[in-house]
Each structure stands twice: as C-alpha cells, then as structure tokens.
Structure 1
Amino acid sequence: MKYNMSLKKHSVCEVLDFFNIQIYELASTNSTIDISNILKGIAFKVSEYINSEELILEIKNSSEYISNTFSELKTDESINEAKNRVLSCLNIITSYLSEDKIKFIDYKSDMDEYTSILIIKKILNNFYEHIKAMYFDTVHGKANITKAQLDNIRIGNEYDVQRILFSLIKPVFTDAKIEVVDNTGCSTVRYDIDIGSCNTTIEVKCSRKSMTERSLNEEMGSDSFHYNRNNIIFFVYDKESIVSDIQSYHKTYNKVFDNKSIDIIIIQPIIL
C-alpha cells in the first residue's frame, strides 16, 4: 500500500500519535456496537489529519460492513471483518509514516537545507516560465487585467527582476526577506533576497547597456567574497546578452570555497 498524501497542518509526531490512539481504541474494543460507532467516524477523523482522497476512500470502504437482519451473528462477523481491515490499513499507514517510506508535507517544519536549495534553483531556472505565463500568454476574455496592461510592463533593471523573484520565492519560503543589511565584521553588505531558514542569499544582477562582461565578473567576485552565507546564488538576468559563454560561467562560479557553496543561473535573452 502506498499513498500520495500530505499532512493537514500537523507535525508528523502529532499524526503518528493520532493514528496510534485510533489503532489502540479500535483494537482494544470487543463490543460490536462500539466497534460500529468507531468505524462510522474513522474516515472523517483521518481526513482531519491527512490530505489524500485515495486513502480516505480506502478507509471508508474498509469500514463498511453488512447488517444481516436475519442473523446477529453474521452482522457481528461482518463488523469484526471491517474492524480488521481498518486496523490493517491504519497500521500500514503508521508504518510508512514512521519509516519515511512516503513523501509528505509537514507544514509546521522547515525543509532541510538540501531540499530548500533544490526548490530555489527550480524556481530560478524556470523564471521565464513565470514571465511567459504571466505576461505573454493569452488573457482570458473575462479577466479584468487586460493584455494591453500587461504589455506595458517591462523589466528595466535588477530591482524589477528582484521584485518578481521575491514574489515567487516568498510563498514557499515565508521567512525570505528583501534588501537585508548584514555586518560581516570587516564590511557591511546587502543581500538582495535572503532566506535565513536555509542560510541562503540570492544576488540579483540585470545587465545594462553600460555593463561589460568584465564588470559583471568583478561584481560577482566581490560579492561572493564578502557574503556571510553558506549558500550564495547569483541570478543574472542578461537582458543585454553581455555574457558570451554561459557554460564557462557555470564552470567558473559553480563551486565551493571557504565553506560557501556558490551557484550561478543565467537567463538570456528575455524581452520584457
């Protein structure tokens, strides 16, 4: 048995406690009347802790039994069979939760640093998908926001890029902050987008006509030296296409030094 499921604003420990209580109460009850009452409400109780239509439906189906108006014994047998089916289902789910054999979302706990970085990079690498869907794709005829209004929006500098990026990152990493000033001991630095929960800063660059590839290199080199974070990600929106060899940049800047992991993501060209 394997489910696609997520937790409903409860920690894993709270969900495990809930399942263990349900298992104990059902297993220790011998009265078919009490068992029947437990079975009638078990699917709803589980739905308050778990997001999974498949799982809730299976528990609901497992808890059903046949009432035989001509034989109380047959009815009791059917109730006990339903009890065993539901117990089996609850025990397997508890085992999966305990052994982490399923993927679930714990809304109360922060993601680990590795997972957080993967998600951040996914957002950055697919930045243009947001631009395309938000500004270029056809607007629904009933929408109040018109295509003409969207066509007036253009990215002019790194502050525009920073604003769009932050709006994409903030819903996922609610502790993300913008324009964070930090004293590193020897200097004061400003992080464009800072995410404390995964010790990560995102430095946003937007090429301009007066910028050269050399000046971009110097800016990134200086920033990576002074930034006091474990993970530094440079997001370069190269609207002027000043980067001549993106792969070369990846080889140069995607590395680990001084206990810092540095990555660079370059998007070019995008017209907006």
Structure 2
Amino acid sequence: MKYNISLKYSICEVLDFLNSQINELSSTHNTKDISNILNNTAFKVSKYINSEELILEIKNLSEYVSNTFSELKNEESINEAKKRVLSCLNSITNYLSEDKIKFIDYKSDMDEYTSILIIKKVLNNFYEHIKAMYFDTVHGKANITKVQLDNIRIGNEYDVQRILFSLIKPIFTDAKMEVVEATGSTTVRYDIDIESCSTTIEVKCSRKSMTERSLNEEMGSDSFHYNRKNIIFFVYDKESIVSDIHSYHKTYNKNFDNKSIDIIIIQPIIL
C-alpha cells in the first residue's frame, strides 16, 4: 500500500465494511445504481479509514465522463469506473488482511481469530523464551548472573504455568490463573483462562511417574468437562513420554461439541 493509513474502527469491522462495499458494487449492474454507489464510496471509506491521499484516489477513480449523446458510451464509462474502484477496494482489503497484525488496536479486545493466532505463536515459540532468558550469555554489567539463572529449573507444571502466564498476561490483560468454575455436577479448574476470547490453556508437564496413557486420560477428561470455546493443551514433555507427536496432533486437534481443541507439545527441553 503506497499510502499511510490508520483505522477508525477495529480491523474486523473495517474488513467487513470493505467486503460489503465490494459485494454491493460487484452485484450491481444498473448504471444509475452503480453511479450512486460510486458517488458515495469515497465518503463511506473515509468513515472507516484515515488517509486523505487514499480517499482522494478513490474519488478520482470513481469519476467518469458522462456522454449525453451516447447511452452506450455512458454505460462503458461508468462500468470502467466501477472496475477501477473495485480493484482499489480489493487492494485495500488484501493489504489489511495480509498485514492484519499491524492494525490491531491493543487498547481494545482483539477479535477471537487473531487472539488464537497470537496465543498459539507464543506457545509454539515457548522455548525461544527459555533459551533467551536462561541459556543465552548474560551481559557483564547485569545484576542477574548466569549462575543465578542456572539455578532455575522447571520441576513441574506449576513452574511451566508461571512462566507461560508471564508471557500471556501482557498481551491478554484479562488472563487469569487457577480459575475455578462449576460445570453441572462437577467443578473444573482452568490453568490459564482468557475470557475475552473464550480460551483456556491447560498446562501439562510430564514427570517420571507419568505414562502416555495417563496423559491421554487427563486430556480426554479435561476436553469433556471444560466449558470454553477454545481449549489449548500445552504439554511440556520434559520426560519425553510422548512417542509420536504427529499422532497426538491428529488425535487431539479437532472440533467437537462446539469446542475447538488444539495441542502443542514441546519436547524435550531441560531447564
């Protein structure tokens, strides 16, 4: 996009508006109706997008030469303007879709799709944090020394949960740990709960006494009882008990009972 733009509404609302404009213009074939739409397009876009240059371009693209002597030439001119404006609107939509993350207003809630993408990215790159925080060389002037960092070791899922929560909380300020909720005849505890995108992260950390079968049973029970739209299992498999990660993904990454289930396995990491 050659113009600097900012959005007056959330990225999803702007994309919905642009798509509605594209659909309306595309499905309109009467030249008088097309002309009315073209005359209002720039003004409507200005309600959603801040960019004087872009709005001016849409105005220019919307213009056409009226020919009072030839209805055919007049229709051709209007339809050419229609094509130009559609091309411009599609370009804006594609740009916003491809660079969606740039236009998120972090002061307000993100849409659910974007939220899940960010959560999964944090989880999948969990080891990058471990490496940068605990393994990489410490600056000579730092008060936190490498010796101190070497004394920190992940022993169980509560350690994993604490580190993971510290990464999630700055992005999703409504995130909470150890949320207890009654669901029918039983009570469940969500390790990390993010109400704004109806997501819970269930943290598992393998131990010497844990078997692959017991891990399966825990996740199966949690999937059934958890009352959240999105359930993400984060398995920190420090004991390497999972024999086939690909098989786990096929088994647990699914949708059922209006729930989306995902599993992310980090293996092996020693800390």
Same fold (TM over 0.5): yes
Flag the 1:146–1:222 CA change in 2: closer, same or farther, 3 A: same
- Cα deviation per residue 1:60-108 (whole Å; 9 max; x = unaligned)? xxxxxxxxxxxxxxxxxxxxxxxxxxx5477569x99xx6654413133
Q: Which position in structure 1 is the counterpart of 2:19? A: none
Q: Which position in structure 2 is the counterpart of 1:198? A: 197
CA distance in 1, matches of 2:157, 2:135: 20
Q: Secondary structure at the match of 2:184?
A: coil
Offset, 1:259:
0.6
Flag the 1:143–1:228 CA change in 2: closer, same or farther, 3 A: same
Q: Does residue 215 of the first structure (1) align with residue 198 of the second (2)?
A: no
Flag the 1:108–1:92 CA change in 2: closer, same or farther, 3 A: farther
Offset, 1:11:
5.8
Paired residues for 1:163-182 under 5 Å: 163-182=162-181
TM-score normalised by structure 1 residue count: 0.67
Q: Which position in structure 2 is the counterpart of 1:228? A: 227
**Are 1:11 and 1:109, in contact at CA under 8 Å, matched by a contact in 2?**
no
Unaligned runs of 5+ in 2: 15-49, 59-87
CA distance in 2, matches of 1:189, 1:89: 52
Query: What is the root-mean-square deviation of aligned Cα atoms in Å?
Result: 2.7
Runs of 4+ in 1 over 6 A off after TM superposition: 4-7
**Are 1:11 and 1:108, in contact at CA under 8 Å, matched by a contact in 2?**
no
Flag the 1:141–1:197 CA change in 2: closer, same or farther, 3 A: same
**Are 1:207 and 1:240, in contact at CA under 8 Å, matched by a contact in 2?**
yes
Flag the 1:121–1:4 CA change in 2: closer, same or farther, 3 A: farther
Paired residues for 1:82-161 under 5 Å: 88=53, 91=56, 101-102=95-96, 103=100, 104-161=103-160
Flag the 1:191–1:12 CA change in 2: closer, same or farther, 3 A: closer
CA distance in 2, matches of 1:219, 1:154: 24
Percentage of matched positions with identical amino acids: 83
CA distance in 1, matches of 2:188, 2:233: 15
CA distance in 2, matches of 1:89, 1:127: 40
CA distance in 1, matches of 2:169, 2:256: 28
Letter paired with 1:141? G
TM-score normalised by structure 2 residue count: 0.67
- Cα deviation per residue 1:200-222 (whole Å; 9 max; x = unaligned)? 00000000000000000000000
**Are 1:200 and 1:233, in contact at CA under 8 Å, matched by a contact in 2?**
yes
Flag the 1:2–1:179 CA change in 2: closer, same or farther, 3 A: farther
CA distance in 2, matches of 1:205, 1:3: 47
Q: Does residue 237 of the first structure (1) align with residue 236 of the second (2)?
A: yes
Letter paired with 1:139? V
Offset, 1:3:
5.3
- Cα deviation per residue 1:119-142 (whole Å; 9 max; x = unaligned)? 100000000000000000000111
Q: Secondary structure at the match of 1:175?
A: coil
Q: Does residue 251 of the first structure (1) align with residue 250 of the second (2)?
A: yes
